Structure 1
Amino acid sequence: MLISLRNDHKQHLQLLIEQPEQVVLDFCKLASDFIENGPNKKIYQSAASKLSVTTEDIQNCIYGIINLVLLACRHKLSEADFRDSVLTLGFSTDQEAILSKFYETKKDDIHKVRRPEFNDPHFNDLDWRFEVQLASRSLLQQVTPLITMDLSLRTSKSDGSDPEIEHHLLQTDPTNLVHLANELENALNESKSNYSRKIQKTLKNMQL
């Protein structure tokens, strides 16, 4: 069978189609490094300078290679089917040989790291109350505001029975609570960035 790629995926690979075999090999090495260690912006900037393109073009090309291999693994393509799929995209025979070797080298590793059925706790509910400590034996006149929270987490069970609920009692002052809320807001905004969305899309594709 031949795999079908989205138009944006084809565009990400277009830069690679225009390159000589050595550059295709270098991109495969960058893709391998990305899988093992994550992105390396300095190397991408250097590659972009050499090819007179943008850093985003380099990143998209690497994402394109990885997504191509992930898609091939998802459909369990044979070496012949992968070769035909690559040639159909417009790659030369020599370029195809490099990509096919990369696929054969990485497919077993990708199958091994297929996303398992994680059973991590998830948010269930949050109850809170506002408290004020007015005095203590050492300080007769003080006002110490505190927020006490009951955070409950839900963990699903593989046998389909009722989920397990864990309660965690937490206590903090308003200053720390505002700081925590700001950090969570920053993390939420970061998760909406274009780069984070590309990473999320890559991870989603790994659910083979």
Structure 2
Amino acid sequence: MLLVLSDEHKEHLGFLTEVDTAVVGEFGRIAVEFLRKGSNPKIYEGAARKLDVPAETVQHGVEGLMYLLTESSKLMISEMDFQDSVLVLGFSQELNERLLQLYLENRKEIRQILSELSPSLPHYHNLEWRLDVQLASRALRHQVKPTVTMKLHLESGGIRNARVLQTDPATLLHLIQELERGLAELKSNHCRRILRNIK
């Protein structure tokens, strides 16, 4: 899978051709540090003074490099695909090899950082349900109102909590039909093609 970069990112990464490959390595270290601890404008200003360029140019270069590394790590693209993705930028062979080396050295750490940043969503643990039917009432002689009460147990980070849901059977049946339709759509050829491209 090739990484597609916007024109803005290509422009930001274009600055890397103007500096030495050792500086690109330093920018890569700054980009990973940026992911770990956040942005530090003083680093950009110091690098800008040494390179005699505006601090904004350095910042864009580092952010462009960070985007390249994070997106590549997120998609776990192969070495060949990474080289092909960078090839469209028109860099020298030496710079392409340095970027590949940066990617290979840092992809595990970047994936770890990204996994820590992602929100922890609760997941299913257990479900209890009960069907309540009012058989008769003096006020409502001919109406029967069944309700389904569900207690959904969720787990998030080792902590369990419960949600109580209540609905009528018609709404529950409609919900089941929609979920089954979604699962059937997942098995369609069109959806399988999309999922193959995502992986």
Q: Specify the TM-score bucket, using the shorter chain as the normaliser.
A: 0.5 to 0.7
30 and 158 in structure 1: CA distance in 2 versus 1, 3 angstrom threshold: same
Off by >6 Å, runs of 4+ in structure 1: none
Q: Output the amino acid matched with 1:67.
A: Y
- Give the length in aligned residue pairs: 129
For residues 88 and 116 of structure 1, the distance between their equivalents in structure 2, rounded to whole angstroms, comes to 30
**Quick check: 1:17–1:90 contact (8 Å CA) kept in 2?**
no
Could you tell me how far 1:28 is from its partner in structure 2? 1.4
For residues 103 and 163 of structure 1, the distance between their equivalents in structure 2, rounded to whole angstroms, comes to 47
TM-score normalised per structure 1: 0.54
Q: Find the residue that maps to 2:163 and give its secondary structure.
A: coil
62 and 158 in structure 1: CA distance in 2 versus 1, 3 angstrom threshold: same
Structure with the greater alpha carbon radius of gyration: 2
**Quick check: 2:44–2:55 contact (8 Å CA) kept in 1?**
yes
Q: Is there any run of 5+ residues in structure 2 with no aligned partner, and where? A: 123-152, 157-161, 166-199
Q: Does 1:64 align with 2:54?
A: no
For residues 50 and 164 of structure 2, the distance between their equivalents in structure 1, rounded to whole angstroms, comes to 55
For residues 97 and 163 of structure 1, the distance between their equivalents in structure 2, rounded to whole angstroms, comes to 56
Could you tell me how far 1:51 is from its partner in structure 2? 2.1
* RMSD (Å) for aligned C-alpha atoms: 2.8
For residues 45 and 30 of structure 2, the distance between their equivalents in structure 1, rounded to whole angstroms, comes to 12
Q: Does 1:162 align with 2:163?
A: yes
For residues 26 and 100 of structure 1, the distance between their equivalents in structure 2, rounded to whole angstroms, comes to 14
**Quick check: 1:2–1:82 contact (8 Å CA) kept in 2?**
yes
Could you tell me how far 1:39 is from its partner in structure 2? 2.2
Q: Is there any run of 5+ residues in structure 1 with no aligned partner, and where? A: 121-155, 165-208
**1:150-173, Cα deviation, whole Å (9 max, x unpaired):** xxxxxx9469x7379xxxxxxxxx
**Quick check: 1:31–1:63 contact (8 Å CA) kept in 2?**
yes
**Quick check: 2:32–2:110 contact (8 Å CA) kept in 1?**
no
Matched ranges for 1:106-121 at <5 A: 106-113=106-113, 114=115, 115-119=117-121
For residues 163 and 64 of structure 1, the distance between their equivalents in structure 2, rounded to whole angstroms, comes to 46
Q: Output the amino acid matched with 2:73.
A: C
Could you tell me how far 1:62 is from its partner in structure 2? 0.9
Instruction: Quote the sequence identity (%).
Output: 34
